[in-house]
Amino acid sequence: MSKKTLLEAQRILRDRVCRQVSPPDIIGFQDEHSRLHDLIKRTVTLGEGNSVLVIGQRASGKTMLLRSVVNKLTQAKDVKTNLIQVYLNGIVQTDDRIALKEITRQLQLENTVGDRVFGSFAENLQFLLDALKSGGHTSKPVLFILDEFDLFAHHKNQTLLYNLFDIAQSAQTPICVVGLTCRLDVIELLEKRVKSRFSHRHIHLFNSLPFSEYCDIFKMYLTLPTTFGDKKFAKTWNTNIGDLCQQSAVKDMLKRQYDLNKDFRALQALMVLPVCRLSETHPAITASDFIDSAHHLTMDSKASILHGKRVLLRKLGEICCILYRLSTPSNHGL
């Protein structure tokens, strides 16, 4: 085993557990994956206008699901070169003016807009989408991803949402609007005119994975892909990971984590320390790595700050006693 091979394996695993890339497979959300995939695919291949809300608690896998769908779609060459993605976040784009500037930037149409003056927000947005038309006067499909969707509902008059849903409903341009939110009551935040333009499609993600699938996800994150360069190393590594998942210490640790918190981010956080510990002197992940990681994650933050500082605290206590005695007035002279 060479150092280069180990570093490449560490890079792949680190990208997964740090949420830089999508996992190799989606476990537990196959139906939701299929529905979202078909919806976006119809926009790309048939030119339909669609809108959908993906609703689930934080860290339930909404972004992971959407990334997986987009990655699968863009594997096709015609889709990869044709589909345009626009990502907006309600925390960053706090009003419609900022959102429109970001749409212009991501569509790379700053020079096209120039100093042009528009009469309304709708006219500006439609101009941007019309500018994407190809030689045959057919517009390229655009996927609008609205993260923290509920925050866009607080924008004045909900102009951005109204125009996006209106374009999707009227089929003026093939766009698909996907909103990601953790609020179950998000529809109640929309104005009546915005509701009338929305398709009312919802995909709910409920994190109700059984423990067996939770263990499968854990194993999947640590397994090297079949496309890994060193086939012999990948086979040995994946065998060791399979044996590791069968160890009682690892199963007990996963069971405690599962009972405490089932979300994916907590599971990924548990794997960060073992992956980062990989080196030439420590070329394999062991059960003790995960036990240490679980200990660090569950340690009280205030207790960890004071850990190893008993001598310092004792000295500080002595100084405080001396200062108290010096500051207390004495009555021995009376």
Instruction: Summarize pLDDT for 20-69 with one digit per residue, the tens.
Output: 777 777 777 888 999 999 999 999 888 888 999 999 888 888 888 898 89
Q: How many CB atoms lie within 10 A of CB 252?
A: 12
Q: Count of CB atoms within 10 A of residue 243's CB? A: 10
Instruction: Please state the separation of Cα 217 from the chain's center in Å.
Output: 16
Q: At what angle do helices 231-245 and 211-222 cross, to 10 degrees?
A: 150
User: Which of 129-138, 144-153, 280-289 is the least confident region?
Assistant: 129-138
134/49: higher pLDDT: 49
pLDDT in the model for residue 135 = 46
Closest of 96, 76, 78 to residue 140, by C-alpha: 78
pLDDT band at 334 (very low <50, low <70, confident <90, very high): very low
pLDDT at position 242: 92
Average pLDDT on 284-306 reads 80
Other beta carbons within 10 Å of 325:
9
Average pLDDT, the chain: 85
Q: What confidence score (pLDDT) does residue 320 get?
A: 85
Distance CA 62, CA 51 (A): 16
Angstrom distance (rounded) from CA 16 to CA 64: 11
User: Is the pLDDT assigned to residue 218 strictly greater than 80?
Assistant: yes
pTM: 0.77
Tell me the HSE value of 83 on the side-chain side, using a 13 A CA sphere: 25
> What is residue 136's predicted lDDT score, i.e. its pLDDT?
47
Residue 213 has pLDDT above 60, yes or no: yes
What are the helix (H) ranges across the chain? Answer: 3-17, 30-46, 62-73, 77-82, 96-106, 110-113, 121-130, 149-152, 159-170, 192-197, 211-222, 231-245, 248-260, 264-276, 287-298, 301-306, 310-327
Q: What is the mean pLDDT of residues 115-135?
A: 72
pLDDT tier at 307, thresholds 50, 70, 90? low
pLDDT computed for residue 261 by the predictor: 82
Provide mean pLDDT across the span 73-86: 83
Average pLDDT over residues 154-176: 87
CA angle at 95 for the pair 91 and 100, rounded to the nearest 5°: 105
- Give CA–CA dist 99/89, Å, rounded: 9
Report which DSSP code applies to 309.
Answer: -
SS3 93: coil
Q: Which residue has the higher pLDDT, 324 or 194?
A: 194
**pLDDT band with cut points at 50, 70 and 90 for residue 304:** low
Measured CA to CA, the distance from residue 62 to residue 180 in angstroms comes to 7
